[in-house]
Amino acid sequence: MGLCAALFVILAAFPAFGARRKYVTTVSLDIQAEIEPDTAFGEEYIQIDEDSNRFYVDGYEVCNSGFGWQRDSIPEIRITLRGEEDYYFEPLSKEDVHLKGGAEFVKASRQDGGATLLMDVRLPALWTTLGDMAGVELSQEGIATWPKDAGAGEYQVRIYRDGKLMSSLLTVKTNRANCRERMAGGEADYQVMVRAVNKYESTYRGDWAPSNVIHVTAEQAAQFREDPAGGGGRWVQEADGRWWYRRADGSYPAGQWMELDGEWYFFGADGYMQTGWIAWEGREYYCSENGNMLTSCFTPDAYLVGEDGAKVALEETFPAAGTGQDAGAG
C-alpha cells in the first residue's frame, strides 16, 4: 500500500513539472556589425540585441577560417542563445528566425536539453559595406564635398531648393559635385543629400547624408547661370564637333588631364578633348564618347580599368586595381 502511494505521488508530480516548462518558438535578433578589412578576428564590432524576456544572447564566435578579415570575406558567426529560467528552445526553422541588420540565418542546433541554442548566421560581405557619409559640406560657391569612401565607386547627390527635392539626380565619380547649374534659378535656400554607391555591386547603396544649408541670392544665382562650371571657364564646341575648354583668362588646357565637375578629361596637344584610349606615363586610360575617364568598369572593347582609371593587367585582380594616384594628378 505504501509503495503504491509513493508511486502515485511521483506520477502526480510529472504534470506539474511539464506545466512549468515553457518554450521559445521564434527568435528575433538585431545584428549590427562594423568590420574593417585587414584586421584580426576579434577586432570587429558586432552588437547583437534580442527583443525577448524568454532568452538572452551569451556571446558569439567567428566561424570563418584563417586569422583575419579580408576585403572578400563573408563573415559567419555562431551566436549562443540561452533560455531564461524554465524556457527551452524548440527546433527552429528559417521561418522561425527573424534577423535585422542584413544578417542571414544559416542553421541552428540545441544543446543542454534545449536550454541553449547555437545559431549560425551569415553577415553581409565586407565588399558590400559602405562607411558613414557624415561630413557633407555645401560651399557658398555651390560646390558640395564629402569624405571619400573606400568602398564607393560613385556617389549620388540630391539637391533641395527651399526644402523641396529638385527632380534631377547628380551622379559623380569623385567626392565632389558642382551644383551651381542647379542653383541658378533665383534666390533660395539650398541643401544637398549624398549617398555612396558600392563600387563592386551598384545595388548596394549607403544612407543619405545631409549637408548644411546655404542661401543663394539673386545676384549669386545670376553668377551661377553665367559661370556654371565655376572659376570662369566654359566648354566650347567647334563647327566640326570637337570640344575644348576655355578658362576664365582665355587660355585652354593642352597635353594634360583636367578635372571638371568631378570628372577627369584629357586634352591633346592641340587643346581638343580626347576620347578612347589615352597613353599617359606608361599606363593606358579610357575616355568615353563624352570625354570623361572611365573607372572601375569594363571599357566598350572589354578591357578592365581600375579605380584610378588605368587598364588592369591580366594578372591583377579587380579589388587590387585602383591603388595608384588619379590620372589627372599628374
User: Model confidence over 212-262: pLDDT tens digits?
Assistant: 999 999 999 988 888 777 766 788 999 999 999 987 777 889 999 988 877
User: What gap in Å lies between CA 140 and CA 1, rounded to an integer?
Assistant: 98
Residue 117 in this model has a pLDDT that exceeds 80: yes
Q: How far is CA 2 from CA 14, 103, 304, in A?
A: 19, 59, 89
At residue 12, the pLDDT reads 47
Q: How far is 174 from 296, CA to CA, in rounded Å?
A: 12
For the chain, count helices (H), then strands (E). 2, 28
- The pLDDT of residue 231 is 64
CA 113-116-118 angle, to 5 degrees, is 120
C-alpha cell belonging to residue 185 = 534659378
Which pLDDT value is given to residue 2?
52
pTM of whole model > 0.75?
A: no
pLDDT value at position 240?
92
C-alpha 281/C-alpha 200 separation (Å) is 27
From CA 228, how far away is CA 269, in angstroms rounded? 26
Decide which of 47 and 324 is more confident: 47
pLDDT of amino acid 285: 96
* pLDDT for the residue numbered 108: 95
Where residue 201 falls among pLDDT bands split at 50, 70, 90? Answer: confident
pLDDT in tens, 299-320: 999 999 988 899 997 654 444 4
* Cα distance between residue 49 and residue 123, in whole Å: 15
Q: Which helix (H) or strand (E) holds 6?
A: helix 2-20
